[in-house]
Amino acid sequence: MSRRGGHLWIFCERPLLAEQCRVYIYTVALRLGVPIKGTAGLRDGIELFPRQDRLAPGEFGNALRGPLGVHRVNHHRYWFYDTGSDINSQLNYLKNLKKLTEAELMRLSLGMTIPDEFLRKPTTIELPPRNPDPNRKQFSILDFVQKPRRQASGNYYTQWPSCAQAGNDRAGDNLAISISDSRKYKRWAGCTKEMIRTAVGQPIPIRRP
């Protein structure tokens, strides 16, 4: 059960590779015609976790409310169907469920890859090359946006200024900025670097011939 519907959990016999699990679930969703939120611009649909294939050392993924956890908004505990609504019945039910084995997952996902329509294709925006004039300060997007709220997959994530002006980006993570080079930042909806620079009050100077 869930506050807005339900969750489908797939329990594994042992920890398995997130990438292999995601390949199988995305492929099955496509075959069944199930819409996935956030892909191809969809605002509604199911959400799949984990959202990353892999994490580098020191990075972290998405926080999840685990099975039988208490919801932090309404303080309700949501039970699994097909058994009693008490802790002992629920734990016994989970203990006796069949668990997915690595061999089964490999067999089910043999030859599969995540379909192209489910792959994120972010627009990479690079600032102009550094000005050779040492007296001119190099623009850094980090000087003009909110302090990054999190980091993952080699990027900082913070609020996208143009989205905020329009009353969107309530999660505050639409703008990804490369940790290794802040001159590179990404916007998933294809906005241009000119739009972002204007939104932070630092329009790109027009170069005179």
Tens digits of residue pLDDT in 38-78: 666 667 788 888 888 887 777 777 777 788 888 878 888 88
CA-derived radius of gyration, the chain: 22
192 or 22, higher pLDDT: 22
Q: Is 178 helix (H, G, I), strand (E, B) or coil?
A: strand
Q: Is the pTM of this model over 0.75?
A: no
pLDDT at res. 74: 84
178 or 101, higher pLDDT: 101
- Candidates 188, 205, 189; CA nearest to 197 is 205
Determine what percent of the chain is predicted with pLDDT higher than 90. Answer: 17
Q: Are 153 and 52 in contact (CB under 8 A)?
A: yes
78: left (phi over 0), alpha (psi -120 to 50) or beta: beta
Mean pLDDT of the chain: 78
Give 150's strand partners. Answer: 157
Q: How many CA atoms lie within 13 A of 47 on its CB side?
A: 11
Q: Are 13 and 101 in contact (CB under 8 A)?
A: yes
